[in-house]
Structure 1
Amino acid sequence: MIIDLTNCDREPIHIPGGIQSHGFLIAIDHKCHITYHSDNVNAYLKGAPANLLGEDVKIIEPYFDQQEPVSFIGQLITIGKVSGFEQINPFIIHIQGQPFHLIISISDDNYLLEFEPAASDHNNDIQKTIGRSISEMLADKNLQSLLNNSAVQVKNVIGFDRVMVYRFAPDGHGEVIAEAKNDNLPSWLGLHYPASDIPKQARELYKKNLTRLIANVNVLPSAIITSATQAATPLDLTCSHLRAVSPVHIQYLKNMGVQSSFSISLLYKQELWGLIACHNYTPRFIDYRSRESAKLIGQILSSALEFRQDEENQQTMERYKNAVDQLSRYMLKDDRIEDALTSHSPSLMDVVNADGAVLMLENHTIRLGETPDDDQLKDLLSWVKNNIVDSLYYTSNLSAVYPQAAPYKNTVSGLMVSTLSRELDEYVFWFKHEQVKTVNWAGNPNKPVELSPEGERILSPRNSFEVWSETVASTSVDWSNEEVKSVIRLRSEIAYALNQKAGAIRLLNEKLKQAYEELDTFSYTISHDLKNPLTAVKSYAQILMRDKTLSPQALKALSRINAGADKMNSMIGEVLDYSRIGRADLVFTEVETRTMIEEHAREIALIYEVDPTVVTIGNTPAIQGDRVMISQVFANIISNAIKYSRSSPDQRVTIDATENEQEVVYTVTDNGLGIDIKQLPRIFELFNRMDNVGDIEGTGVGLAIVKRIIEKHRGKIWVDSELGKGTTFYISFHK
């Protein structure tokens, strides 16, 4: 296959068809018959047949020096299937007087048996030094010091010539952020490497196999052989320790002068944060136990990184949250909302890390910090109105999407805009300065194109690693997730304050009120009237389904009609509920919520066939409201939490509340699918469903109903979520 520059990310490195030849591999099926093996087996098992395919794995046992019990490999498989192979790996055997490790893992319908030397090429006793090294690593409280010391400790443990901590950027490229090396080597600290140096599929494998050893780039791999019937299904070596290396990567290492490499994955919230990348300029083999000890360093460093990063994120979130909370109090206390947002400390500037802000509200334009001038702002507003459809938009490179901003990129390279009312030209803008920086690349990041003899473009790994500098301009510091969530929360608080202050005036507008009521009545009437013909459609479909003469295709079509009628009936019911809320009068009482919440949790857990103990109910203070509507709110929110966390391995739903003199705030937290941060602003819109819910049942009406009920109670509801991690809904009730 010719690997060109456009398909490098699709190179199938998990099925390379070979292994590194410092060991050998045998794959067996569930009956312990050999289905694949490397072609170097008889180089280790002297006298063994060159072709073992189809044989019972017991055929290789006589070639081990110390006789294990008969069928001991089969017994190991049986034990591993029950307790996990990590409990038995590695198993010591001897071949011609030399100790070998047998490492067992799973590959689709096969078990991989990997045999590799049990002795490393160095004399360090990693397991004796690991404890001291970890203690010294964790002594550092500063993140950069932790990274620097981690590189030093890993070098002390495995003895490689160069050890680097390599961090991935959001676009996939990497940077060396810490380093420990031999004195005679040049420093690579601060160098950047393009994303194509470690392509996407390689990064995915680093998440599954936390260590990766390339023992000797100069030794040819051993091919994996199989039967003709199996040849169309290459052996998946994702979990293999001996997996052969892409020829492109081998050449890449040779171009660097590296003859052996070892990497340890660093994860943050199950995603690849970076690598501890180790290079040696002579061949070097590290045995399995030593690699596992080194992996422990990576896991502990990952935990430390996650703890420190979470601690930093939490401090940032608390700072932004306190600013939004204070602004909310100002808005309810001050006569003019624009003064509340701009005349105090904290102000609009403090809900994000911005250099300037502009508030356009109630026909006033108020500037804070450094902002575009009047003409520039007018043009920017026009561009936003004509091009931005989302209620929240942000970029760190404004001139790339709006070239007219180039003349004032020093002031505005980063833009975040929250739309309050497009019709009234009410917006909040935040700006970040340009941050010019020089990026030092290890060679030109643009891979050169070479042509094959046939004139086709082929991939050639870089062979020049001299420092290549690039100046990056017209960009600002990226907007963080914490800033995005802060602005979403502030937008909700501004909307609430506007409704509180302008509600009386707006409700006096009889035409608007009349139009609203007529529309509400219309939606109720048409939804109600649709039920009769829909019932008729469903009944006729059911009658026809009883006709035994109909073909299977016709019965299938009638079944779909029946299911569609049920779904439409459910949607009509929810639309009726939504319209009733507008007409219903509230009956305020003190609602004791605990029994209500417990009943909902129990019933919903039964519906979705989950263990009721996954729901933890904490503090449940009483609230003032309409009992029926409040019950509907909790039913919807708890149902979503249980429904969208069912696929989580350790499903958890927590319901709790806090209170002060002014309000009671309930929280419902799950560890389910989560919501993409870009979709958070639309979460309460009617018929809006998230992209990641797949085939999970729902109509997108429930949260719209909840929001309408909460607003009718003059309360507030907002959400915090992270995709793949879970969601928390906050519901605030006045006392």
Structure 2
Amino acid sequence: MKIRDILNREIVNLTNCEHEPIHIPGSIQPHGFLLGLKTGTWLIDFCSANTSDYIGISHTELLGRTFATAFGDEREHLFKEYISHALVTAPLKLELFGRNFNCTIHISGAHYILEAEPLTHVSAPLSSIYDQTSQFLAYMNETHTLKELCQLVADGTREITGYDRVMVYRFDKDYNGEVFAESRDEKFEPFLGLHYPHTDIPVQARELYLKNLLRLIADIGYKPVPIYTIDDTHGKNLDLSHSILRSTSPIHIQYLQNMGVGATLTISLIHQKKLWGLIACHHYSPKNLTPEIRLAAQLQGNFLTSQIDVRQSNEEYEVSRKTNAALEKLNALHLSPKSESFEQVIACNELLEICNAGGVSIKFGNEIFTSGSVPEHDEILMLSDWLFNYTNAGQLHTDKLLGHLHDHKELCQKVPGIVYHSLGLDADNCVIWYRPETIAEVNWAGDPAKAIVKDEKGLFPRKSFELWREFVKYQSKPWSTPELNSAANYAHSLQRQMALILLTEESRRNLELNQILKETNSELENINWISTHDLQEPLRKIQLIASRLLSKENDISPDVIDAILRMNQSASRMQALLVDILKYTRIQHTKAIFEKVKLENLVQQTVEELKEAVTEKMAIVKVNGLPEINGVAFLLKQLFSNLISNSLKYSKDDTASEILVDYQGREPNVSPTDRDALFEVIRISDNGIGFEQQFSENIFNIFTRLHPQAEYKGSGVGLALCKKIMQTHSGFIKAEGTPDSGAVFTLYFPVN
């Protein structure tokens, strides 16, 4: 059987330090030993090189044997019994070759990993640990802020574990860390308030902190113990992400040595499935903890993460109370629906207080209303247009405008913090709150730009942790959640006020237009009365005088007689036009009651009344199965009279005229405005001269004619009159024509 170690011998350098495979180091810390058992067969497939130090049997003797053959059936039974209880957190206590061990077990891929540490006497009685934990819970309820709670956790963890220094380490959004709370021995310098760059804890390390919530290094100066395996598969390895004894990255060990640390305990603080921070415990000499103390320390972290939301809410409560009070005062203002109302709004200090801003601008149309410290007028215009396009008519809040608007450094220094809300579909309506620059002093534990150092010997973590001050510019105080919520709420109020102003102005314009329209209609009615009544009298006199003159034609020359005849004909045409106009206007004002009308009888009567014209044109008029509809009888009679007369007028001289009025049945989905309506469809077709289809819409316009007056007499009102009659009946009319082949007029009457 061939055996090999799985030690990771890759050299960490600048190109791979962010991707160092720290989950598969192939080695462990020496304060315990490790076995990797195949699931199902319980064959020892992995074994650390230090088993002989603890149980007197070398790894070469253990590899390839089953757990039972190596340690006995009774131990195997205890092992299987333990793993059958998936929720077990206390270690398994095993006696192996006369020595007692605390064993932690977890599964990794196809292997169970057993890590055994010698059982030692508990440095503090379990009752003492319990009392300390109970006391901590009592004190926890007395704290109000998150910082107070973190300090309590730091003090409690140090009391339980006995480490020289315990820090609560909090990450920002970029995973730079800050020592948020600290408990330490007085002889050590304080780290409280110091910041550490994100490179101190690289990505893969943060990922492991999410998987394994407790990480112990008992002695920084330890010598890694390699893990051996049966060499039966190429590239065979073991994932130690959840291991207690997992060996640590050499660069991290060097980092801790540079800090002068001798042992560490790290507890992950997980909040909303993200790494919120760490409880980092440092001791300046080697130090190990019993499993019971480790668990008690881990509970401190659980207490803290369970209270983060509550404490942050407590801290935000006072801010929220003040912003809500300002918001209530603003919403209580009685604003008139005029743009001047924004002068009343902008004069209120509460407009700044709702989000603790230094300035605010409201843009409504071409007007800009401002309060407090704001940019220049042209800068507000530019910023409004840019934000509208950048947010796609949405919203934006930032404490570092330069991170978004790179080309206006001076403006971004003047107002680095903004809250923007678009209040319309264009850039003309918006509100922007502004915050001035706050130059922050950040105390780093060493220059963050030198977190990783490379020299001729390779890659090393920094050696200097001396105070290094950085002044952060182009940044404002961050906006809190209550401030952003209040700003958003009042932005909606401003949007409603703007909508009300626009609606009020639109309503006022509509009233003015309605008044103008009313006056215009009154004038048109007067003109119509004059055209249809007062103008009739002069025409009758013209016709009377013409008749008298024509009765004396023996005394008048032929040229004069011809002129008088033309004058009489013109007067007759004008009289007919006035009569048609009167008919057209009467339809607009008709309020006749609708009744059941039998179209078959009505159209037959109409044809009878047109008998003289039908006979003159030698026409054949057929009427087939017309339905009964709701309508105004005299208007319907006018409709069919106009359409049949139109067919007679535009018949061909050399062909007998044929006119067909027939019922096409009911049709749905034909209305351009109501797709659910059902219509009775009637068609009037002829074999006359027809027309070009391009004129199918224009022929219904009043006074529209397709032929000269001398060729076909008429006023150009007839088809316009037909369209009006159909509209009065809530229907519509369509026309189709083919030159020299005839025309078809289709009528659509609604069933209901």
TM over 0.5: yes
Q: Relative to structure 1, is the Cα distance of residues 428 and 76 closer, same or farther in structure 2, using a 3 angstrom cutoff?
A: same
> 2:4 aligns to what?
none
Alpha-carbon distance in 1 for matches of 2:673, 2:459:
63
Structure 1 position 199 matched with structure 2 position 202? yes
The residue number in structure 2 matching 1:17 is 26
Separation in 2 of the partners of 1:197 and 1:284?
A: 23
Residues 42 and 50 of structure 1 are in contact (CA less than 8 Å); yes or no, is this contact kept in structure 2?
Answer: no
From 62, 69, 79, give the equivalent of 1:73.
79
SS in 2 for 1:75: helix
Cα deviation for residue 317 of structure 1 reads 5.1
Q: Could you tell me whether the CA contact under 8 Å between 2:166 and 2:183 is conserved in 1?
A: yes
Give the Cα separation in 2 of the matches to 1:479 and 1:6: 38
CA distance in structure 2 between the aligned counterparts of 1:158 and 1:312, rounded to whole angstroms: 30
| Alignment-mate amino acid for residue 107 of structure 1 | S
The answer for the alignment partner of 1:468 in structure 2 is 468
Quote the offset at 1:252 in angstroms: 0.6
1:429 is the counterpart of 2:432: yes
C-alpha contact 1:385 1:422 (8 A) present in aligned 2 = no
Q: Is the CA contact 2:269–2:305 (under 8 Å) kept in the aligned structure 1? A: yes
- Aligned counterpart, 2:43: 33
What is the match of residue 539 of structure 1? none
Amino acid at match of 1:354: A
Q: Give the equivalent residue in structure 1 for 2:148.
A: 145
Residue pair 2:438, 2:473 contacting (<8 A) in 1 also: yes
The residue type paired with residue 11 of structure 1 is: E
> Match for 2:60: what amino acid?
A
Say whether residues 1:42 and 2:52 are aligned partners.
Answer: yes
- Amino acid across the alignment from 1:228: D
| Alignment CA distance shift 1:133-1:424 (3 Å) | closer
Q: What stretches of structure 1 move > 6 A for 4+ residues in a row? A: 507-510, 580-585
Q: 1:450 is matched with which residue: 450, 454, 477?
A: 454
Tell which structure's C-alpha radius of gyration is larger: 2
1: CA distance, partners of 2:447 / 2:152: 30
Quick check: 2:92–2:102 contact (8 Å CA) kept in 1? yes
The reply on whether 1:278 has 2:281 as its aligned counterpart is: yes
Q: How far apart, in 2, do the equivalents of 1:477 and 1:49 lie?
A: 60
Among 174, 178, 197, which residue is 1:171 paired with? 174
Give the Cα separation in 2 of the matches to 1:257 and 1:285.
17
Asked if the contact 1:331/1:497 (under 8 Å) is kept, the reply is no
TM-score of the aligned structures, taking structure 1 as reference length: 0.62
Partner in structure 2 of residue 255 of structure 1: 258
Q: CA deviation at 1:344?
A: 4.3
Distance 1:451 1:475 in 2: 35
Cα deviation digits, residues 101-157 of structure 1 (max 9, x gap) = 111222233222111133378557534533234433443334333322322222221
C-alpha displacement of 1:223: 1.9
- Give identity over the alignment, percent: 33
In structure 2, relative to structure 1, the CA distance for the partners of 1:366 and 1:92 (3 Å cut) is same
> What residue number does 1:365 align with?
368
1:561 paired residue number: none
Do the aligned partners of 2:337 and 2:497 also contact (CA within 8 Å) in 1?
no
5 Å-filtered alignment, 1:30-429, equals: 30-31=39-40, 32-47=42-57, 50-62=60-72, 68=74, 71-77=77-83, 79-81=84-86, 84-86=87-89, 89-95=90-96, 97-119=98-120, 122-123=123-124, 126-230=129-233, 232-313=235-316, 316=319, 320=323, 327=330, 330=333, 335-336=338-339, 338-339=342-343, 341-344=345-348, 346-347=350-351, 349-381=352-384, 383-384=386-387, 387=390, 389=392, 391-402=394-405, 405-407=408-410, 411-421=414-424, 423-429=426-432
Aligned-partner Cα distance in 1 for 2:155–2:167: 9
TM-score normalized with structure 2 length: 0.60
- The one-letter code matched in structure 1 to 2:253 is I
**1:90: Cα distance to partner?**
0.9
1:441 deviates by 1.0
Cα contact 2:343–2:369 (8 A) shared by 1: no
Whether contact under 8 Å (2:405, 2:412) holds in the other structure is no
Whole-angstrom CA distance in 1 between matches of 2:487 and 2:421: 7
* SS at structure 2 position matched to 1:464: coil
CA contact (8 A) 2:50 2:59 kept: no
DSSP-derived class of the 1:9 partner: helix
The 3 A distance-change label for structure 1 pair 460 and 91 is same
Equivalent position amino acid for 2:468 in 1:
W
Offset at 1:405? 5.0
1:4 alignment partner in structure 2 = 13
Counterpart CA distance in 1 for 2:63 and 2:361 is 73
1:362/1:175 CA distance change after superposition, 3 Å: same
> Does structure 2 retain, via aligned residues, the 8 Å contact 1:100–1:118?
yes
1:120 to 1:130, Cα distance in 2 relative to 1, 3 A: farther
Work out the CA distance in 2 between the residues paired with 1:381 and 1:507. 28
Q: Distance in 2 between the 1:268 and 1:299 partners? A: 10
- CA positional deviation for 1:299: 1.0
How many Å separate the matches in 1 of 2:15 and 2:500? Answer: 56
CA contact (8 A) 2:132 2:156 kept: no
1:348-391 Cα offsets, whole Å, 9 max, x none, are: x2442321111101322111221112244344345445655452
- Bigger CA drift: 147-156 or 47-56? 47-56
CA distance in 1, matches of 2:317, 2:235: 51
What does 1:643-658 align with in structure 2 at a 5 Å threshold?
none
Q: How far did 1:231 drift?
A: 5.2
Aligned to 1:439: 442
SS in 1 for 2:252: helix
- d(CA) in 2 for partners of 1:319 and 1:19? 55
Structure 1 position 289, deviation (Å): 1.4
Counterpart contact for 1:193–1:442, Cα < 8 Å: yes
* Aligned-partner Cα distance in 1 for 2:676–2:371: 44
Amino acid at match of 1:14: H
The CA distance in 1 between the partners of 2:505 and 2:262, in whole Å, is 77
Contact preservation (8 Å) 1:218, 1:259? yes
CA–CA distance in 2 between the matches of 1:202 and 1:583? 65
Note if contact 1:331-1:341 (Cα within 8 Å) is conserved in structure 2.
Answer: no
2:469 partner SS: strand
Give the corresponding residue for 1:515. Answer: none
| Paired letter, 1:212 | R
Cα gap change, 1:27 to 1:319, in 2 (>3 Å): farther
Query: Any gaps of 5 or more consecutive residues in structure 2?
Result: 1-9, 511-671, 678-752
Report what 1:560 is aligned to. none
Secondary structure at the aligned position of 1:80 is classed as coil
Cα deviation, residue 197, structure 1: 0.6
Q: How many residues matched?
A: 502
Give the counterpart letter for 1:16 in structure 2.
P
Q: Say whether the 8 Å CA contact 2:48–2:227 is kept in structure 1.
A: yes
Report 1:568-583 matches (<5 A). Answer: none
For residues 470-492 of structure 1, what are the alpha-carbon distances to aligned partners after superposition, in whole Å with 9 as ceiling and x for unaligned?
Answer: 11112112234444444444444
Change (3 A) 1:477 1:6: farther
Aligned equivalents of 1:394, 1:34: Cα separation in 2: 58
Q: Distance in 2 between matches of 1:29 and 1:581?
A: 76
Q: Is the 8 A contact 2:106 2:113 kept in 1?
A: yes
SS at match of 2:133: helix
Q: Give the drift of 1:194.
A: 0.7
2:52 and 2:215 map into 1 onto residues whose CA distance is 26
CA-based RMSD of the aligned residues comes to 3.4
Is the Cα contact below 8 Å between 1:396 and 1:479 reproduced in 2?
yes
CA–CA distance in structure 1, aligned partners of residues 469 and 509 of structure 2: 63
Contact 1:120 1:286 in 2 (8 A): no
SS of 1:296's equivalent in the other structure is helix
C-alpha contact (below 8 Å) 1:413/1:474 kept by paired residues: yes
